[in-house]
Amino acid sequence: MYTQPLAYLITFTCYGTWLHGDERGSVDDKHNKYGTEFLAPDQVLKTVCRDQMDKSPVFFDPHERDLVEKTIREVCQYRQWHLQAINVRTNHVHVVVTGNNDPDKIMSDFKAYATRKLCESAPDRNHYKIWTEGGSTRYLWDEVSVVAACEYVQNQ
């Protein structure tokens, strides 16, 4: 077993596209430790969360997806992180990356630089929330986990 993870599977969503109470499950402050169950689906909670939104949900078009992917690749090159897999979807991003930083810092950098590029390409986005707060950072401790995560990100 390694003392440092070989990589991280980092996932973050676009604002308003995966709310607490969603049937896919979600994570809050009480459900964010390894091995803890997701929040159970709850239509009332989902409706409350939707009603509290102050902006519209964000979905990326093909150009925006390409821009986010290109930006994440540039951040990895600049920070000397090894990007092993990436998939930018219409409402979320999956990345498998190896780096000597905390995965929350890596995710934060991805979001910050992608936000800047998106706002530069479409100034009307300057007033939008683009990302959901936080995200998922899974530690990948062995080669089998890294390969499985890359397979998931690229093909599922």
Q: Where in the chain is the domain with CATH 3.30.70.1290?
A: 7-16+58-155
Q: CA-CA distance, 65 to 71, in Å (whole number)?
A: 10
Q: Which fold has domain 7-16+58-155?
A: Alpha-Beta Plaits (3.30.70)
**Predicted confidence band at 148 (pLDDT cuts at 50, 70, 90)?**
very high
* Residue for token pair 């080669």: 143
**pLDDT at position 74:** 98
Q: How many CA atoms lie within 13 A of 15 on its CB side?
A: 15
Question: Which two tokens mark 78?
Answer: 């600049």
Using an 8 Å Cβ cutoff, are 60 and 71 in contact? no
pLDDT at 52: 75
More confident residue, 22 or 113: 113
Residues 6 or more apart in contact with residue 103 via CB below 8 angstroms: 8, 10, 137, 139
Confidence class for position 36, pLDDT limits 50, 70, 90 = low
> Is 116 or 25 the better-scoring residue by pLDDT?
116
Mean pLDDT of 29-58: 68
Predicted TM-score (pTM) of the model is 0.86
Q: Between residues 111 and 38, which one has the greater pLDDT?
A: 111
**80 — phi, psi (to 5°)?**
60, 40
